[in-house]
Amino acid sequence: MTDASLSTWVHRRAEPSWLGRLFDSKPFLVVICLFPAVGLLMTFLTYPLALGIYLAFTDTTIGRAGVWVGFENFTYLLQDPIFWNAVFFSVFYTGIATIGKFGLGLWLALLLNNHLPFKSFLRAIILLPWIVPTVLTAIAFWWIYDPQFSIISHLLIKTGLRETNVDFINTAWPARWSLIAANIWRGIPFVAISLLAGLQTISPSLYEAAMLDGATAWQRFRYITFPMLLPILAIVMTFSIIFTFTDFQLVYAITRGGPVNSTHLLATLAFQRGIPGGQLGEGSAIAVSMIPFLVFATLFSYFALARRKWQQGETND
Amino acid sequence: MALITRRTALQLGASAAALGAMGGFAYAQSDIKTADATPPKLDIEKGASLRVLRPARFVPPDEEIFRANCARFAKETGVEVRVDLVGWEDITQQTAVTANTGAGPDVIIGFNEAPHIYTDKLLELSDVAEYIGKKYGGWLPLAQKYGKKHGTNNWIGLPFGASGGPLVWRKSAINAAGYDAPPDDHDKYLDLSRKLHAAGKPSGFALGNAVGDGNGFANWLIWSHGGFLVDEDNKVAINQKTTVEALKYLQELYKTFIPGTVAWNDISNNRAYAANEIWLTANGVSMYFALKRDPKLAEIAEDTQHSLLPKGRLDQSPMAGLTLNAMCFKHSKFPNAAKSLLQFLLEKEQYDPWLQANLGYWSQPLENYSASKVWESDPKVALFKNVMRSNFWIGYKGPISQASAAANADYIMVQMCAAVASGQSTPEAAAAEAERRARRFFRS
């Protein structure tokens, strides 16, 4: 380093340049640091959402730009039995699958919370269904439910329990239950592992105290485990409901909404009308109509399950 | 076959070998007749270059010959040609984006209705179409329907070929049921179907959300009874007596199917046929080639025959092929070069080798190409040479439009049939529901 550069450096340090002063200014730093995040959100979240909502009020098709038609798409949907069927199945699918996932997931979490041999190995295995990409799960189930080549039908016929193939997805109700079963299978690990994390935060001293008081296993679960688990249960359930309600891949890959539209979820129906059917406006209207359901589901699980004093910042009961 | 150099011929041989035995697959000199015709005056722009978009290939030689043809055009005219292939599901959306943004490829070889949707974004191709038509014995009916703007003689698309889905059946099973071939009469066909069912060798047709197979079967059922989705004036006409009769016929026919076809997609019948689960179905030629290529399934291929779908009440078998439809965009800076390229590709020096490379997957749009050697390569494929000799199209009898394409993609006809077959609706209710849904698409 030469003398000249050293003196320059000292000089700058004594009196910062406009750039230095700029970077010292807090408002400027706030703006510059927020910009990437806000920019990304605006570009990839707000803009598409706003565009989707706008499209829902137009008659845009893939071939041409549409004109503003107000609530025409929605009034058509209100009298479209296929739409109402999709609303019904979305709610039914979400409801039953969530109950199944939480029932089985909680049970699994309680089992894993015990001292078992190969505990960490078992926990890793449990996660597998969730790690596998959904579309692969869907393809596997598609084969399992195939009208001709189902492994389950094959085994049942081999063992003489049945004479014909099982009807998994050829008629409406079996198809609905089959899809719910696939969704539950896929969703259990997420619930189980999240609840297991919750279980491990419960202090063993509570159980010890309960046992000294002579509490039964059920009483310990009902009055210690369950209340202590509720906050995490609320969060996990909110996520689970949102994932299930907006599910697309399982249904689209296994039944494509068939037989005769009986297993369309709002998401698959929106895609079917919007992209292959080309009716972008109507497809958007179906997608937009999911928003109230999601808001309601989120509020419900939040307020119904999470209204606990100690959750709102007061640590002491 | 001047265009196939020694090197491409070797490559083709190698890829054919890689695919396994393809029967009498060879590039032969076909005797394609031509009439005198004057090509239109197309002054190719100086320094022109073109981008072409087309759907993915069925078989590797398809792409190789297509690229070789374009390279030859480049060599003769000095116009640089870039060819991109995209997946089948994507071409419709890419065409839409190209048309709406006015940017991108100069030429797209799309499917079916595309030129009819984007007519005002496209160059008129009548000069090329008339010249090629005159030279090669005229355009076949399906090509005229898909090429010309509705109700006019103005060409907006140049069909390059079509792929159909006739009946595919096992000779042994049909003969054992007492028939030489599937009959054209509805009652006799039902009788055959019942006998096959009784023999434990049932038929099966997709009634699920299968774009190709499902629509193919549903359209056949309704059309062969004299019904149609919309009339000539684009008025929805599905809710009529003939439709109900067709659906009542389906109630009987469905009982003879293998169980589960309401859940079928486009691949299901191929799998069931290859596994000896079904002995009669409808499919494109691809299934036969897949069987023929697999040594374990060659026996099934040997026993397989193709025939047209039953005529029923009509005097022609109703089948609408999937049509390759080429279009040139107005936004192209080199319209004459684009039109020249399409004209060049349809001339026999280029078209016939390409047709042969496709083994019969695509069938020609022009009369004189019926003499192509491709139809002699395997007698079981010969039937496919008439795919474009059809007076039925997707959206029959109305104009080809966005609405007819959307009604097809939204499975209106298939779901009407599936609802009746599965017992969810009465024929009358299903026809009324189809009418309600179709009205939505065909509203002006």
- As a whole number of Å, the CA-based R_g of chain B is 22
Q: pTM to 2 decimals? A: 0.86
**CA–CA gap between residue B377 and residue A198 (Å, rounded):** 69
Listed in sequence order, the residues at least 6 apart from B76 whose beta carbon sits closer than 8 Å to its beta carbon are B344
At residue B111, the 3 state secondary structure works out as strand
pLDDT tens for B29-50 read 888 999 999 999 999 999 999 9
Over residues A75-86, the mean pLDDT reads 95
Q: Which chain B residues contact residue A61 at CB under 8 A?
A: 402, 406
Listed in sequence order, the residues at least 6 apart from A263 whose beta carbon sits closer than 8 Å to its beta carbon are A89, A169, A172, A175, A176, A179, A251, A255, A257
At residue B327, the 3 state secondary structure works out as strand
- Which of A175, A258, A278 has the CB atom closest to B406's CB atom? A278
Determine the residue of chain A that is closest to B441 in CA distance. Answer: A279
The CA-atom distances, in angstroms, between A165 and each of A127, A179, B396 are: 31, 18, 37
Testing the interface with A: which of B89, B112, B209, B277 to mutate, by most A Cβ within 10 A? B209
Superfamily of domain A82-308: MetI-like (1.10.3720.10)
Residue B107 parent element (H or E): strand B107-111
> Residue A231 has what pLDDT?
83
Output the six-digit token pair for B54: 């087309």
Determine the residue of chain B that is closest to A147 in CA distance. Answer: B260
Output the six-digit token pair for A185: 């299978």
pLDDT tens for B109-127 read 999 999 999 999 999 999 9
pLDDT tens for A235-287 read 888 889 989 999 999 999 999 998 999 999 999 999 999 988 889 999 999 99
**CA–CA gap between residue A68 and residue A60 (Å, rounded):** 9
> Residue A3 has what pLDDT?
54
Residue B7 has pLDDT above 70, yes or no: no
Q: How far B364 CA lies from chain A's nearest CA (Å)?
A: 27
User: With contact defined as beta carbons under 8 Å apart, do A150 and A144 qualify?
Assistant: yes
Residues of B with CB under 8 A from a CB of A: 92-93, 96, 99-100, 117-118, 208-209, 211, 258-265, 268, 271-272, 275, 277, 402, 405-406, 409-410, 415, 418-419, 422, 424, 433, 437, 440-441
> Residue B444 has what pLDDT?
62
Q: Which of residues 137-156 of A touch B (CB under 8 A)?
A: 145-149
Which band of pLDDT confidence, cut at 50, 70 and 90, is reported for residue B159?
very high
Does the distance separating the beta carbons of B422 and A171 come in below 8 Å?
Answer: yes
Q: Higher confidence at residue A170 or residue A6? A: A170
Output the six-digit token pair for B78: 């000095």
- The alpha helices in chain A, defined as continuous H runs, are 3-14, 18-24, 26-41, 47-56, 72-78, 81-113, 119-126, 128-131, 134-144, 151-158, 172-200, 204-212, 217-220, 226-245, 249-254, 266-274, 280-288, 290-306
At residue B390, the 3 state secondary structure works out as coil
pLDDT tens for B275-285 read 999 999 999 99
Residue A314 has pLDDT above 80, yes or no: no
Output the six-digit token pair for B270: 């191929």
Residue B21 has pLDDT above 90, yes or no: no
Listed in sequence order, the residues at least 6 apart from A95 whose beta carbon sits closer than 8 Å to its beta carbon are none
* Domains of chain B, each with CATH number or no CATH: 33-164+321-386 (3.40.190.10), 167-319+410-441 (3.40.190.10)
Does the distance separating the beta carbons of A170 and B422 come in below 8 Å?
Answer: yes
Q: Which chain A residues contact residue B201 at CB under 8 A?
A: none
Which band of pLDDT confidence, cut at 50, 70 and 90, is reported for residue A11?
low
Q: Which chain A residues contact residue B441 at CB under 8 A?
A: 279
Q: Which chain B residues contact residue A166 at CB under 8 A?
A: none
Over residues B238-251, the mean pLDDT reads 96
**Closest by Cα among A148, A264, A250, A141 to B261:** A148
Testing the interface with B: which of A144, A260, A261 to mutate, by most B Cβ within 10 A? A260
**What secondary structure does DSSP assign to A94-150, as a single string?**
HHHHHHHHHHHHHHHHHHHHS--TTHHHHHHHHTHHHHS-HHHHHHHHHHHT-TTT-
Over residues A79-86, the mean pLDDT reads 95
Q: How far A8 CA lies from chain B's nearest CA (Å)?
A: 54
**CA–CA gap between residue B253 and residue A290 (Å, rounded):** 40
Which band of pLDDT confidence, cut at 50, 70 and 90, is reported for residue A306?
low
Over residues B397-423, the mean pLDDT reads 93
A257 touches chain B (CB under 8 A): yes
Which band of pLDDT confidence, cut at 50, 70 and 90, is reported for residue A14?
low
pLDDT tens for B199-218 read 999 999 999 998 889 999 99
- Which residues does residue B168 pair with via DSSP β-bridges, in sequence order? B281, B306
Q: Lowest mean pLDDT of A112-126, B76-90, B400-414, name the range.
A: A112-126
Q: Which chain B residues contact residue A259 at CB under 8 A?
A: 208, 262-263, 418, 422
> Residue B276 has what pLDDT?
94
Does the distance separating the beta carbons of A147 and B117 come in below 8 Å?
Answer: no
Q: Taking CB atoms and an 8 Å cut-off, how many pairs form between chains A and B?
A: 94
- Which of B259, B405, B440 has the CB atom closest to A76's CB atom? B440
pLDDT tens for B248-263 read 999 999 999 999 999 9
Determine the residue of chain A that is closest to B261 in CA distance. Answer: A170
- Which of A63, A259, A273 has the CB atom closest to B263's CB atom? A259
Output the six-digit token pair for A13: 């340090």
Does the distance separating the beta carbons of A148 and B258 come in below 8 Å?
Answer: yes
At residue A35, the 3 state secondary structure works out as helix
Q: Which chain B residues contact residue A171 at CB under 8 A?
A: 262, 422
Does the distance separating the beta carbons of A256 and B209 come in below 8 Å?
Answer: yes
Q: Which chain B residues contact residue A65 at CB under 8 A?
A: 100
Listed in sequence order, the residues at least 6 apart from B207 whose beta carbon sits closer than 8 Å to its beta carbon are B214, B217, B218, B254, B261, B262, B264, B414, B417, B418, B421, B422
- Which residues does residue B52 pair with via DSSP β-bridges, in sequence order? B83, B107
At residue A166, the 3 state secondary structure works out as coil
**What secondary structure does DSSP assign to B41-86, as a single string?**
---PPTT-EEEEEEEPPSSHHHHHHHHHHHHHHHHHH--EEEEEEE
- Which of A146, A256, A278 has the CB atom closest to B402's CB atom? A278
> What strands lie across the sheet with B280-282, from one edge to the other?
B280-282, B167-170, B304-307
Which band of pLDDT confidence, cut at 50, 70 and 90, is reported for residue A62?
confident
Q: Lowest mean pLDDT of B18-22, B59-63, B266-270, name the range.
A: B18-22
Does the distance separating the beta carbons of A276 and B410 come in below 8 Å?
Answer: yes
Output the six-digit token pair for A296: 């309601």
Residue A9 has pLDDT above 60, yes or no: no
Residue B270 parent element (H or E): helix B268-274
Determine the residue of chain A that is closest to B419 in CA distance. Answer: A260
At residue B170, the 3 state secondary structure works out as strand
Does the distance separating the beta carbons of B410 and A273 come in below 8 Å?
Answer: yes
> Residue B326 has what pLDDT?
96
Q: How far A64 CA lies from chain B's nearest CA (Å)?
A: 7
CB atoms within 10 A of CB A42: 11
Does the distance separating the beta carbons of B422 and A277 come in below 8 Å?
Answer: no
Residue B330 has pLDDT above 60, yes or no: yes
Residue B18 has pLDDT above 80, yes or no: no
CB atoms within 10 A of CB A37: 9
Which band of pLDDT confidence, cut at 50, 70 and 90, is reported for residue B22?
very low
Tell me which DSSP letter residue B385 carries: G
A246 touches chain B (CB under 8 A): no
- Which residues does residue B280 pair with via DSSP β-bridges, in sequence order? B169, B203
> Residue A131 has what pLDDT?
87
Which band of pLDDT confidence, cut at 50, 70 and 90, is reported for residue A13?
low
Q: Which of residues 167-186 of A touch B (CB under 8 A)?
A: 167-172, 175
* Ranges of each domain in chain A: 4-56, 82-308
> Residue B4 has what pLDDT?
41
Which band of pLDDT confidence, cut at 50, 70 and 90, is reported for residue B2?
very low
> A267, exposed or middle or buried, with CB in 10 Å at 0-12, 13-18, 19+?
buried
User: With contact defined as beta carbons under 8 Å apart, do A259 and B254 qualify?
Assistant: no
**CA–CA gap between residue A259 and residue A241 (Å, rounded):** 25
- Which of A81, A148, A259 has the CB atom closest to B262's CB atom? A259
Q: What percent of chain B has pLDDT over 90?
A: 82
pLDDT tens for A160-215 read 888 888 999 999 999 999 999 999 999 999 999 999 999 988 988 999 999 999 98
**CA–CA gap between residue A12 and residue A92 (Å, rounded):** 68
Output the six-digit token pair for B85: 């292939």
Residue B440 parent element (H or E): helix B427-441
Residue B287 has pLDDT above 60, yes or no: yes
Strands B304-307 and B322-328: unpaired
Does the distance separating the beta carbons of B263 and A175 come in below 8 Å?
Answer: yes
Testing the interface with A: which of B119, B262, B416 to mutate, by most A Cβ within 10 A? B262
